[in-house]
A and B are shown apart, each in its own frame.
Chain A
Amino acid sequence: MPLWLIVLIKSAILLFIVVTSFAYAMLAERKVMGWMQLRPGPNRVGPWGLMQPAADAAKLILKEDLAPRTADPLLYRLAPFVSLLTAFSVYAIIPFDVTSAGTWSIGNVNAGVLFLLAITSLGVYGISLGGWASGSKFPLLGSVRSTAQMISYELGMGLALAGVLLVAGTTSLDGIVSAQRDLWFFIPQFVAFVVYVVTAIAETNRVPFDLVEAETELVAGFHTEYSGLRFGLFFIAEYVNMLTVSCIASLLFFGGWNAPFGWTWLPGIVWFLLKVAAFMFFYIWLRATLPRFRYDRLMAFGWKVLLPIATLNVVVTAVVIALKG
């Protein structure tokens, strides 16, 4: 088989998996948040509400697609696709397992972590262009917030990942995972791990950093004017981004497909998916628990707390590694 055909088949399979996991991540969020708020959550469509994502998809597809008269005709339509494209393209390099057959990934990039940072840094365009192009006040405020927030937290995130890169001595994702065979990096890089988790929540615009949507202040933030399928695309992008940062957390800090305590009776990919699911649960758990940050405190927290901590972590890690030889 030619290479492009293999890549195409792999991409199609992965796209299907990611979209399905998005659908059920959304259902899981509604269920878990329901339980935490003493409700059963959606349970009418299918057994235990398992067909709810299909019903939601049908609703979003069939809904009328509205565009405000003041909207920019080109960018208003383009923005959701930019969001979705950047959200999905990260999966081109995320490895899921390494077996004797090779690495389970579409492309094996050696500057993997840098590629992740590059693509996630493009994710802000979908949100800020969408908010700007809506031609309305609340979306504009949401998009301005998102640009400021994502730039601020990207720095902390990059520096947190730099600590891991220093310890692993490589920028390739499967190299980092195989460097964690003995000790998962969240132990030596605990500070970086905490900074990464916080910045990842901010980068995906989730509670308590969902200033970009902030329904109590900005109606729905950047996607106030979006409806139907275009809103659905933003929705998918948000959840796929959540899955992405969960994947990165488990690859970089929790040993990816390495089994804990040598429990290799489960295949590596199962361990990987379990770790991703645990992070997703943590996200939902946080959302059900914490209120939203105030905007100035969000910025102060990013610049005055997370960034110095992450910088200090990089410096200390570098010194320790240099002294060790």
Chain B
Amino acid sequence: MSAIFWVPAIVLVASAVWTVTASKPVYSVVALLLNFVALAVLFLTLSAEFLAMIQLIVYSGAILVLFLFVIALLSSGVAPLSLGPNRLPRIVAPAAICVAVALGLVLAGVATSHGIPAPPRAAYANAGSAGMPGVFGSVGDFGKALFTTYLLPFEVTALILMVAVIGTIVLAGDETPYVASRRRAEQNRKAMREAIAREGD
């Protein structure tokens, strides 16, 4: 294993630890960003160019930005300590046991299984030209797999996301602010007219 693996790997683990131990939520976001970038680099070393780029575009470029957006809006004036006691130390031991068990199971599964096919050597030889159709990890292969072999999961995911989007609209935006403000103004005017009518009597 060379530096191209070890450097991102160490950064990955270190930034993951920083993410959960950071004192400010924004530091957690920055640590997570570092984590995602290191992960993208690791994907690149596995010649999964497309996955690496999607990792950056979707997770770093969109999801994490929304985290930052929410944190910047909500917690700008809140000191981290006033949010409550730090319960993290209490769950460290159980969490470590859980992770160890899960990791052990995965390793055991890998060691005993014969079903995971390794990509052919020729694919590694061509790894530098991913992005061309018919090469391991390429955009074309990715798309083909997504729309043939994994079509059902893909469509189900799309449906779930659609449900989430519609749900958000139902929960958050039943009427536009403009309509709401006009309705409020109308109500105010009505109340004022009635008040004036009462005063007049």
Check A-B contact in the complex, CB < 8 A: yes
Residues of A within 8 A of B (CB): 72, 74-75, 78, 109-112, 114-115, 117-119, 121-122, 124-125, 128-129, 131-133, 140, 143-144, 147-148, 150-151, 154, 158, 170-172
CB distance from A196 to the nearest CB of B (A): 16
Chain B residues lying within 8 Å of A74, measured Cβ to Cβ, are 27
Chain A residues lying within 8 Å of B33, measured Cβ to Cβ, are 122, 125
B5-13, B48-56, B113-121, B160-168 - the one binding chain A: B48-56
Give Cα A115 to B61, complex, Å. 12
Is there an interface contact between A121 and B131, defined as CB atoms closer than 8 Å?
no
Chain B residues lying within 8 Å of A115, measured Cβ to Cβ, are 53
Give Cα A75 to B60, complex, Å. 17
Closest to A132 in B: B72
**4 nearest A-B residue pairs (beta carbon):** A121-B61, A110-B131, A118-B56, A114-B53
Among candidates B54, B62, B68, residue contacting A129 with C-beta atoms closer than 8 Å: B68
CB distance from A93 to the nearest CB of B (A): 11
Is there an interface contact between B61 and A154, defined as CB atoms closer than 8 Å?
yes
Is there an interface contact between A154 and B56, defined as CB atoms closer than 8 Å?
no
Is there an interface contact between B132 and A170, defined as CB atoms closer than 8 Å?
yes
Is there an interface contact between B69 and A125, defined as CB atoms closer than 8 Å?
no
Chain B residues lying within 8 Å of A171, measured Cβ to Cβ, are 131, 139
Contact flag A118-B57 (CB < 8 Å), given A128-B65, A151-B62, A171-B139:
yes
CB distance from B8 to the nearest CB of A (A): 16
Is there an interface contact between B53 and A118, defined as CB atoms closer than 8 Å?
yes
Q: From DSSP, what is the main secondary structure of chain A's interface residues?
A: helix
Chain A residues lying within 8 Å of B68, measured Cβ to Cβ, are 125, 128-129, 132, 147
**Residue B149 lies at the interface, judged by CB distance under 8 Å to chain A:** no
Is there an interface contact between B57 and A158, defined as CB atoms closer than 8 Å?
yes
Q: How many A-B residue pairs have CB under 8 A?
A: 96
Is there an interface contact between A144 and B132, defined as CB atoms closer than 8 Å?
no
Q: Encode B127-144 as 1/0 by CB contact (under 8 A) with A.
A: 001111000001100000
**Residue B66 lies at the interface, judged by CB distance under 8 Å to chain A:** yes
**Residue B73 lies at the interface, judged by CB distance under 8 Å to chain A:** yes
**Residue B26 lies at the interface, judged by CB distance under 8 Å to chain A:** yes
Give Cα A110 to B130, complex, Å. 6
Chain B residues lying within 8 Å of A109, measured Cβ to Cβ, are 49, 131
Instruction: List 17 additional contacts besides A118-B60, A172-B132; criterion CB under 8 Å.
Output: A110-B132, A110-B138, A117-B61, A121-B62, A121-B65, A122-B60, A124-B61, A124-B65, A125-B33, A125-B68, A128-B68, A129-B30, A132-B68, A140-B72, A147-B65, A147-B72, A172-B131
Is there an interface contact between A75 and B26, defined as CB atoms closer than 8 Å?
yes
Chain B residues lying within 8 Å of A78, measured Cβ to Cβ, are 30
Is there an interface contact between A121 and B73, defined as CB atoms closer than 8 Å?
no
Chain B residues lying within 8 Å of A75, measured Cβ to Cβ, are 26-27, 30
Give Cα A264 to B56, complex, Å. 39
Give Cα A72 to B69, complex, Å. 17
Among candidates A72, A110, A111, A154, residue contacting B26 with C-beta atoms closer than 8 Å: A72
Contact flag A110-B62 (CB < 8 Å), given A118-B57, A122-B56, A144-B73:
no
Residues 68-91 (chain B) with a chain A CB within 8 angstroms:
68-69, 72-73, 76
Give Cα A72 to B37, complex, Å. 23
Is there an interface contact between B26 and A117, defined as CB atoms closer than 8 Å?
no
Chain B residues lying within 8 Å of A117, measured Cβ to Cβ, are 53, 57, 61
Chain A residues lying within 8 Å of B37, measured Cβ to Cβ, are 122
Chain B residues lying within 8 Å of A170, measured Cβ to Cβ, are 131-132
Residue among A147, A150, A172 with the most chain B CB within 10 A? A147
Is there an interface contact between B132 and A154, defined as CB atoms closer than 8 Å?
no
Is there an interface contact between A121 and B130, defined as CB atoms closer than 8 Å?
no
Among candidates B24, B54, B62, residue contacting A114 with C-beta atoms closer than 8 Å: B54
Is there an interface contact between A111 and B65, defined as CB atoms closer than 8 Å?
no
Among candidates B24, B49, B60, residue contacting A121 with C-beta atoms closer than 8 Å: B60
Closest to A143 in B: B72
